[in-house]
């Protein structure tokens, strides 16, 4: 993916309805989950995030978005359902891909660099189902008080330029279409809700960057764009073994925020990252600390904070890491990008 892509968002109602339809009924509501991703390991049960409502049909397909081709899997032929446990499992002779054939399956502390072509893209199944339990997420306090200028521009029908700044996750790593990148979905959603405004979004993220490289690229990637709103998301590469210590990570984020504010006047939304695959050799397994540091920086600098980390952990509590990782390491798949998007939807715009 190019490191800098620009989209002008239009209020295409059909596209917005399709993308925003991939949602539960919301916190506290029994509803329908669309496009939840799972991988199947042999005939082991694969858990869904919420209980299955007995007697309600479910759909299992090979594509995240419904109605775009791909394969539809058949209950009783490809999979069986256990409504009491909220699980599915592959049947013998199933057309569902078997994750045991993935080159990284079963490897402890794997080094991805030794496995060209690694990834989970061909192993996902996506499930639509009626949920039996209330959704426990997203838990995201409103950040409206930190985004007053942004809200006023949207309500007044003015132009709003958003820059998404961060690492490969923000750049769109392992999203199958540009319109499924989390911040692109969010900008589309804002454009739909504020149809008289003109929302422009710029991809200012670079794969592999930590906050160290972020500071080096800040001028060209963010400041020169003269944004009104900046999404800042680092931590995945900072947390790696022998990378950026937490105190330096905090200071780097503070410098990024200070320069954005002083040189552009833009408002800032900080968002945390999720834990990568615990079997990955280069992870420090300390993402909890980097997420907490991101929250502290937001509080100390009085900027908006989107709590991706804790919401990801809540939704993923019943799921395998491989269910949500497009590259099996540290990139969300399309459903994972939707998790980010749902958190951003709750911040108060």
pLDDT digits over 124-137, tens only?
Answer: 999 999 998 888 88
Q: Where among 130, 154, 176 does a domain terminate?
A: 130
Average pLDDT rounded to a whole number, residues 224-249: 97
Residues 228 and 162 sit within 8 Å (Cβ to Cβ): yes
In a domain, 309, yes or no: yes
Give yes or no for residue 2 having a pLDDT over 90. Answer: no
Looking at the DSSP bridge assignments, the partners of residue 160 are 199
Residue 102 sits in the same domain as residue 237:
no
Judgement on whether residues 84 and 180 belong to the same structural domain of the protein:
no
Q: Characterize 137-149 residue by residue with b for buried, 16 or more Cβ atoms within 10 angstroms of its Cβ, and e for exposed.
A: bbebeebeebbee
Q: Is residue 233 part of a domain?
A: yes
Is pLDDT at 4 greater than 50 in this prediction? no
161 and 62 in a common domain: no
Q: Which helix (H) or strand (E) holds 221?
A: helix 211-221
- Whole-number pLDDT of residue 23: 46
**Is the predicted pLDDT of residue 93 greater than 80, yes or no?**
yes
Q: Bridge-partner residues for 75, per DSSP?
A: 79
Identify any residues that bridge with 200 across adjacent strands, giving them in sequence order: 8, 161
306 in a structural domain: yes
Q: How many domains does the chain have?
A: 2
Do residues 210 and 331 share a domain?
Answer: yes
Look up residue 188 and give its DSSP letter: H
pLDDT for residue 231:
98
Q: Is 170 in the same domain as 280?
A: yes
Instruction: Identify whether the C-beta of residue 80 lies closer than 8 Å to the C-beta of residue 58.
Output: no
CA atoms within 13 A on the CB side of 67: 6
Burial letters 204-216, b for 16+ CB under 10 A, else e: bbbbebbbebbbe
Contact 45, 57 (CB under 8 A): no
- Percent above pLDDT 90 for the chain: 86
Average pLDDT over residues 203-214: 97
Q: What is the pLDDT of residues 139-148, one digit of tens each?
A: 999 999 999 9
* Angle, helix 308-315 to helix 334-345, in steps of 10 degrees: 120
Q: Are residues 73 and 170 in the same domain?
A: no
- Here the CATH number for the domain that contains residue 180 is 3.40.50.1110
Work out whether strand 159-166 and strand 198-203 pair parallel, antiparallel, or are unpaired: parallel
Percentage of the chain exceeding pLDDT 70: 91
Q: How confident is the model at residue 30 (pLDDT cuts 50, 70, 90)?
A: low
**12 plus 51 within the same structural domain:** no
Does some domain include residue 1? no
Does one domain contain both 44 and 95? yes
Nearest one of 108, 195, 106, 169 to 331, comparing CA atoms? 169
Rounded Cα gap, residues 154 and 131, in angstroms: 34
The CA angle 54-59-60, to the nearest 5 degrees, is 120
Q: Is residue 106 scored above 60 in pLDDT?
A: yes
If asked whether residues 57 and 194 sit together in one domain, one would say no
**Final residue before a domain boundary, out of 130, 156, 188:** 130
Length of the chain: 349
**Domain encompassing residue 63:** 32-130
Separation of alpha carbons 100 and 1, rounded Å? 29
Q: Which of 25-29, 78-82, 154-158, 265-269 has the lowest mean pLDDT?
A: 25-29
Tell me what the pLDDT averaged over the chain comes to: 91
Assess whether 120 and 158 both reside in one domain: no
What's the average model confidence in pLDDT over 290-318? 97
Residue 11 confidence (pLDDT) above 50: no
Do residues 86 and 50 touch, judged by C-beta distance below 8 A?
A: yes
Q: Around Cβ 196, how many Cβ atoms within 10 Å?
A: 11
Residue 26 lies in a domain: no
- Among 52-56, 97-101, 199-203, 245-249, the minimum mean pLDDT is found in 52-56
Domain boundary among 92, 109, 130: 130
* pLDDT digit string, tens, across residues 48-90: 999 899 989 999 999 999 888 899 999 999 999 999 999 999 9
DSSP state of 51: P
Q: Is residue 27 part of a domain?
A: no
User: For residues 267 and 94, what is the distance between their CA atoms, to the nearest angstrom?
Assistant: 51
Q: Looking at the structure, do residues 262 and 318 belong to the same domain, yes or no?
A: yes
Q: Which of 23-32, 172-181, 207-216, 310-319 has the lowest mean pLDDT?
A: 23-32
Same domain for 141 and 42: no
d(CA 249, CA 56): 47
Stretch (H or E) spanning 60: strand 59-61
């Amino acid at each position: 993916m190019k490191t800098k892509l620009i989209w002008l968002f239009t209020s295409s109602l059909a596209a917005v309805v399709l993308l925003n339809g991939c949602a539960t009924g919301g916190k506290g509501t029994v509803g329908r989950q669309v496009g939840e991703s799972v991988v199947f390991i042999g005939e082991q049960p694969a858990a869904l995030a919420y209980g299955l409502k007995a007697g309600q049909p479910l759909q299992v397909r090979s594509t995240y978005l419904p109605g775009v081709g791909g394969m539809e899997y058949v209950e009783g032929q490809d999979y069986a359902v256990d409504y009491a446990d909220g699980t599915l499992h592959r049947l013998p002779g199933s057309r569902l891909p078997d994750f045991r054939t993935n080159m990284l399956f079963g490897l402890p502390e794997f080094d991805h660099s030794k496995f060209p072509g690694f990834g989970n893209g061909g192993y996902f199944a996506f499930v639509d189902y009626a949920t039996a339990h209330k959704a426990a997420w997203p838990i995201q306090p409103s950040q409206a008080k930190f985004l007053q200028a942004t809200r006023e521009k949207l309500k007044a029908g003015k132009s709003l330029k958003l820059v998404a700044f961060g690492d490969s996750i923000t750049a769109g790593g392992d999203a199958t279409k540009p319109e499924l990148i989390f911040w692109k979905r969010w900008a589309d959603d804002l454009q739909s809700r504020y149809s008289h405004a003109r929302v422009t979004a710029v991809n200012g993220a670079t794969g592999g960057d930590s906050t160290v490289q972020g500071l080096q690229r800040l001028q060209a990637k963010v400041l020169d764009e003269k944004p009104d709103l900046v999404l800042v998301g680092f931590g995945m590469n900072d947390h790696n073994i022998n990378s950026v210590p937490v105190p330096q990570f905090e200071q780097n984020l503070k410098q990024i925020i200070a320069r954005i504010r002083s040189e552009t006047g833009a408002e800032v939304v900080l968002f945390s990252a999720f834990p990568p695959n615990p079997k990955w050799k280069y992870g420090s397994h300390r993402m909890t600390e980097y997420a907490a540091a991101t929250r502290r920086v937001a509080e100390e600098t009085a900027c908006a904070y989107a709590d991706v980390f804790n919401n990801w952990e809540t939704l993923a509590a019943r799921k395998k890491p491989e269910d949500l990782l497009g590259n099996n390491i540290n990139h969300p798949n399309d459903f994972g990008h939707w998790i980010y998007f749902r958190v951003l939807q709750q911040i108060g715009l």
